[in-house]
Amino acid sequence: MICWMFPGQPVAFADTPVNDPEFQKIALLCQETTGFNPLESCTSASDLSQSVRLQLFGVCVSLYRAKVLARQGSVPDVIAEHSMGIYASLAASGATDDVTAIELAWRIGVCMARMGMQREYALGCIIGLTRVPLEAIVANNGIYIANYNTSRHFLLAGERENVAAALAEATASGAFSASVFPCDAPLHTPRIEEIAGELRRIVADYRFYEPRIPLVEHITQTTLTAAAIPRFMVEELSRPVYWETTYRALRSRKVTHFQEVGIGSALSKFNRWIDSES
Amino acid sequence: MIEELIPKVKQMIIDSLRIDGMSPDEIETDAPLFGEGLGLDSIDALQLVVAMEKEFGVVVPDAATGSTVFASVRSMAGYIAEHRK
């Protein structure tokens, strides 16, 4: 049983398949829809924030990789998504088309970017600490755990200076590594509820179809229906990603092969870690 | 001692990182493991930390130490030789 896993936002513009006509087609679609061309990622659409451009870049590469896999004859029995991987996963499942996936990523990204004009936010990547001490650290610093990726891989989100303080505390508490990334908004935290009304209005502009391939979401590991998609798309931005639970749920559904459909191999590495503890 | 450890370290890397289709001989002893070379990242680093502790009883306490230890297979073997109980 095969699962295609769609990863979240990349941290850099990397591995661009510049010479493949299939990617060029998706890049053009993105440019026509949003003004951003992933083939000119560093210079294109400078009015968009770096986070929005990275999100669009990630969506385009995932859409492209899904097409390449399909061309190679890979057919998923189930689809899973992590964070911003939701957009391309919706298209791959048949719940929407490529243009809608790109447009949703763009409009939601721009909406979240407005939060970043009021305050400076960041994401913090913590490797090595376990959940309990980390939960105490985030509480001390008024921030949140945004991704529960494995027993020892977490992503924090909140205001930049608080994230920096939490990373210092985590390092002093024995974290193996701690790194910070700028972002527009406190992703996957309750703070996103400040813009939930606007997000709901964006999502309400689109029609979603029943996924042809079961799409498992990362909060409660249920299979999304067309009716549940709009609510999930807003809710997922204000709640954490539970990747370890999602992976274990997929395993219990008898998935034997996992194919990462996007940039890098972070999800495959998280899976490897989870397997090593099983 | 270090030379004896090198093939074992290579096998540990392959096993712990589940690098399919690669033999120990294909890993260069002195090539960088991170960024270029095998292209490992911080997720891989923690996996190697756990594997080193399990297989050789050697602890890499933090990423700063790790950046020196995981510079190459030879540096890993050197660290193990020095810290093995």
- Name every residue whose Cβ is closer than 8 Å to that of residue A73 and which is 6 or more positions away in sequence: none
Which chain A residues are closer than 8 Å to B40 by Cβ?
A: none
C-alpha A195/C-alpha A146 separation (Å) is 17
Mean pLDDT of A147-176: 96
Alpha carbon distance B33, A41 (integer Å):
28
Q: Which domain holds residue B12?
A: 2-19+28-83
Give me the pLDDT at residue A119, please.
Answer: 94
Nearest-by-Cβ selection for A176 from B17, B18, B46: B46
Task: Calculate mean pLDDT across residues A173-191.
Answer: 94
List chain B residues with CB under 8 Å of A266. Answer: 43
Work out the minimum CA distance from B64 to partner chain A, whole angstroms.
8
Residue A17: band (very low, low, confident or very high) from pLDDT cuts 50, 70, 90: confident
A127/B17 Cβ within 8 A: no
Superfamily of domain A2-116+189-277 in the CATH hierarchy: Malonyl-Coenzyme A Acyl Carrier Protein, domain 2 (3.40.366.10)
C-alpha span between A170 and A176 (Å, rounded): 9
Residue whose token pair is 């010479």: A19
**pLDDT in the model for residue A246:** 98
**Same topology between domain A2-116+189-277 and domain A121-181:** no
**Nearest partner of A105 among A123, A81, A125, A124, judged by Cα:** A81
Q: Which residues of A touch B53 (CB under 8 A)?
A: none
Sheet order of strands, A257-260 included? A215-216, A78-81, A2-6, A257-260
Among A116-120, A228-232, A262-266, B41-45, the range with the most confident prediction by mean pLDDT is A228-232
Rounded distance, CA A36 to CA A59, Å? Answer: 12
Greatest Cα-to-Cα distance within chain B, rounded to the nearest angstrom: 32
The pTM assigned to this predicted structure is 0.94
Contact A177 B63 (CB under 8 A): yes
Q: What is the pLDDT of residues B14-70, one digit of tens each?
A: 999 999 888 999 999 998 888 777 778 889 999 999 999 999 999 998 888 888 999
Q: Inter-chain contact A269–B47, Cβ cutoff 8 Å?
A: yes
Whether residue B16 and residue A177 make contact (CB cut-off 8 A), yes or no, is no
Mean pLDDT, chain A, integer: 95
Nearest CA among A121, A86, A134, A53 for reference residue A262: A86
CA A29, A35, A37: angle at the middle one, nearest 5? 60
Mean pLDDT of A119-145: 96
Q: Of B16, B18, B49, which is closest to A176 when you measure between CB atoms?
A: B49
Locus of tokens 């008024």: A142
What is the C-alpha separation between A96 and A211, in angstroms, rounded? 8
Say whether A273 and B46 touch across the interface (CB within 8 A). yes
Q: Output the CA angle A127-B23-B19, nearest 5 degrees.
A: 30
Q: Tell me the chain B residues in contact with residue A128 when contact means C-beta distances shorter than 8 Å.
A: 46, 49
Which ipTM score applies to this complex? 0.86
Interchain contact, A270 vs B43, CB within 8 Å: yes
Q: Which range scores top for mean pLDDT: A26-30, A172-176, B23-27? A: A26-30
**CATH topology assigned to domain A121-181:** Alpha-Beta Plaits (3.30.70)
The count of domains in chain B is 1
Q: Which domain CATH number covers B37?
A: 1.10.1200.10
Checking if the pLDDT of B85 tops 80, the result is no
Alpha helices by DSSP H, A153-203:
160-172, 196-203
Q: Mark yes or no for CB contact A177/B42 under 8 Å.
A: yes
Q: What is the nearest CA distance from B22 to chain A, expressed in angstroms?
A: 17
8 A C-beta contact, residue A182 and residue A124 = no
* Interatomic CA distance for residues B18 and A13, integer angstroms: 26
> Residue A35: left (phi > 0), alpha (psi -120 to 50), or beta?
left
Sheet holding A121-127, edge to edge: A177-183, A121-127, A153-159, A144-148, A241-242
What pLDDT, on a 0 to 100 scale, did the predictor assign at position B64? 84
* pLDDT value, residue A172: 92
Does the pLDDT value for residue A95 go beyond 90?
yes
The C-alpha of A18 sits at a distance from chain B's nearest C-alpha, in angstroms, of 21
Tell me the nearest-neighbour CA distance from A255 into chain B, angstroms. 18
Q: Select the residue of A127, A153, A272 nearest B18 (Cβ to Cβ).
A: A272
pLDDT at B2: 87
Residues sharing a CB contact under 8 Å with residue B55, sequence separation 6 or more, in sequence order: B8, B12
Q: How confident is the model at residue A131 (pLDDT cuts 50, 70, 90)?
A: very high
**Inter-chain residue contact A128 with B46, CB threshold 8 Å:** yes
Residue A140 carries which side chain, given as an amino acid letter?
A: N
Give contacts of A276 with chain B, Cβ < 8 Å: 16, 47, 50
The per-residue pLDDT for A58 is 96
pLDDT of residue A19: 86
Provide the residue ranges of all domains of chain A, joining segments of one domain with +: 2-116+189-277, 121-181
